[in-house]
Amino acid sequence: MDEQGNATHARGTFNVLDENLPPEQQVLGLFYAKWILGALRAAVEVRVPDVLAAGPRTATEIAAEIGANPDALYRVLRTVAAAGILDESTDGRFALTPLSAGLVDGAENGIRDMFLFASDPMFLRPYENVAHTVRTGEPAFVEVFGMTFYDYIKVNPASGALLDRAMVQNHWPDMDRILDDFDFGRFPRIGDIGGGRGQFLARILLRHPRCTGVLADLPPTVAEAKAELENAGVADRVTVVPTDFFEEVPSGCDAYFIKHTLHNFDDDKAQLILTRIRAAIGNNADARLLIVDQLVRGPGEWDTAKLIDVEALSVLGGRERNRQEWNRITAAAGFQPVNEPEPNALVLLEYRPV
């Protein structure tokens, strides 16, 4: 603890507590997150950022444009502005700030779909009953919705489509570092397993013009991949394979890349996916498994992987892993580690087949 009573750790500190309150009351400051997120989600749902993209407006003007209650809208927007996410001027007009510019539909490097996905009831409602998960080890999602997340996505295609659009906006600053540091160019044919609409495969292929790619994901997801790959100008180098990776992974690739996907599953299921990848590799000893995910840090360290792990646990029945845990499930599927990256928000773990 430092003098203000904030937890400090060897590797970074993140203070979500209100230092102005006595220490025993500081956790109550966590509710600011709920109040701000709820107000901001409402503003995004009714498309306030889209209206403000045309210039500053009063709440009354915005309400007339979107068909909302002016008083309620004003009170929500002043909360969002108090948090610094919109600007509120003394003449009563609201404007976008750099923090809200990405919430405009279609904004370059925008995050509107990711924001709506991550704050959707399918992710929020399980948080009402994380205690159920703690007591039983089972995802609270099943308790709340009466089915697993994956079945929910199947029977609610709109939620599945939101997931797919959100993943196109799955920008992590660390991804640029991985693209800079790791030589994907040494693999003539790169498979992206659970690659969504091909958003990441496209980024690799753009950097490596001699490589070709295979995009493997569920049929409804890859059905929408063509436009993404064409927009990026790589469609002619990508074979799109609709598949269920628990059943089969396409063979013939030199690298099998799997990003932000294995953490959605428990060890048994993740191991089954890895076994399918190992089968696809066959006796190509030069082929590689490339996992991009998080590495959980040690006790007491600030770590978004620990936060996301509870979400993975309560919503999906998945888990974030440390290096030993990754090595255990990959070894069980027939892989050996090649590299030893430092824990980071996102890491690339390279494995060879054995």
Ligand X SMILES: C[S@@+](CC[C@H](N)C(=O)[O-])C[C@H]1O[C@@H](n2cnc3c(N)ncnc32)[C@H](O)[C@@H]1O
Contact positions toward ligand X, by CB under 6 A? 167, 170, 194-196, 199-200, 217-218, 221, 243-246, 259-261, 264
Nearer to ligand X, 96 or 290 (CB): 290
Nearer to ligand X, 93 or 171 (CB): 171
Q: Strand 255-259 vs strand 288-293: parallel, antiparallel, or unpaired?
A: parallel
Closest CB 78 distance from ligand X, rounded Å:
35
CA distance 169 to 161: 13
Nearer to ligand X, 30 or 307 (CB): 307
Question: Are the C-beta atoms of residues 125 and 117 closer than 8 Å to each other?
Answer: no
What tokens does 318 get? 């998945």
Minimal CB distance to ligand X: which residue?
Answer: 194
Among 193, 200, 213, 196, smallest CA distance to 172 is for 200
Closest CB 261 distance from ligand X, rounded Å:
4
Nearer to ligand X, 62 or 292 (CB): 292
Closest CB 79 distance from ligand X, rounded Å:
31
Question: Are the C-beta atoms of residues 289 and 350 closer than 8 Å to each other?
Answer: yes
Closest CB 28 distance from ligand X, rounded Å:
33
Nearer to ligand X, 79 or 261 (CB): 261
Closest CB 122 distance from ligand X, rounded Å:
13
The secondary structure of residue 342, as a DSSP letter, is P
